[in-house]
Amino acid sequence: MNMEMQNTIAKAVSFSGIALHTGVRVHLTMKPAPVDTGIVFRRTDMPGNPEVRAHAAYVVDVRRATTIAAPSKAFVVTVEHIMASLHAANVDNVYVEMDSAEPPIADGSAGPYFRLIREAGIQEQDAPARYWTTDKPLYYENRGTTLVVLPAEVFKISCTVEFGETALGTQFFSLEVTPESFERELGPCRTFAAYRDLAQLIAAGLAKGGSLDNAVVMHEGAIISNEGLRFPNEMVRHKMMDMVGDLYLTGKRVRAHVIAIKPGHPSNVETVKRMLASENGAK
């Protein structure tokens, strides 16, 4: 097998849009970065443009989204869609500059970010890629959520979610994650919420940028978004997309088969921490 090298993007690319929670317009630029930089967010709206490295060590909140923060007090909310796109595209090193704390929600999926990376192009670098691998199973279980990480030569996710006695029922999907499969099968899948939960968030002053155009909104078992489902099992696919992003908080490309039942950001990040702490986690 040929040695795979680290990658950055070939040129800077930009994207603007509304942030989900704050409702403010955000300008985001991805820029090439040197070997071994990793994924680094820069807050250009703060003095000195402080940086936050995308790594499990800097995760400070996993309620509804994944938030990272640095000792400088700079923080970035909802990094998972960007991280998923970078992980799937095998981009190891990049600077992500933002003039706010939260990236644009776009259409609620990772698709726009993956297309942005495609637009930038991939630049191979002069250092071997780093992988998280394991030679023994790793387990996480808590309150009905289970994640099992198994040895594998590829990156694969098999996921089950359930919505109780609703028309959505139980959903399952399994996929070997490659740039091509992610773009086709996971990237387009949007975030989702129950109408009552969205209404509560809006009443609490959150989800100011949320709308029926950037989420799959469910009400009494029906989809009331302006666009119907992109896949019959779009919800489980979105959970898998989030997982691709959260698992990149290892700081390495993942080669393992992750089996997940009812996952979320808390279980994803806790699993990442266990992956990093495991004896065989760094090879």
Q: Which has the closest alpha carbon to 257: 185, 189, 177?
A: 177
**What dotted CATH number matches 131-277?**
3.30.1700.10
Q: 281 falls in which pLDDT band (50, 70, 90)?
A: very low
Q: Where in the chain is the domain with CATH 3.30.1700.10?
A: 131-277
Question: How many Cβ atoms sit within 10 Å of the Cβ of residue 105?
Answer: 26
For residue 238, indicate whether it is catalytic: no
- Rounded average pLDDT over 192-204: 82
Q: Please give the pLDDT value at position 224.
A: 84
Q: Which has the closest alpha carbon to 10: 94, 86, 98?
A: 94
Fold of 5-128: Ribosomal Protein S5; domain 2 (3.30.230)
Catalytic residue among 21, 81, 87, 265: 265
Q: Please give the pLDDT value at position 166.
A: 60
Per residue in 228-274, pLDDT tens?
Answer: 899 999 999 999 999 999 999 999 999 999 999 999 999 999 999 99
DSSP letters for 23-36: --EEEEEEEE--TT
Answer left, alpha or beta for residue 236, where phi above 0 means left and psi between -120 and 50 means alpha: alpha
Q: Where in the chain is the domain with CATH 3.30.230.20?
A: 5-128
* Residues whose CB falls within 8 Å of the CB of residue 140, separated by 6 or more in sequence, listed in order: 146, 147, 148, 267, 270, 271, 274
Element (H, E) at 176: strand 170-176
Phi, psi dihedral angles at 51 (to 5 degrees): -110, 150
Angle at 54 between CA 50 and CA 59, to 5 degrees: 95
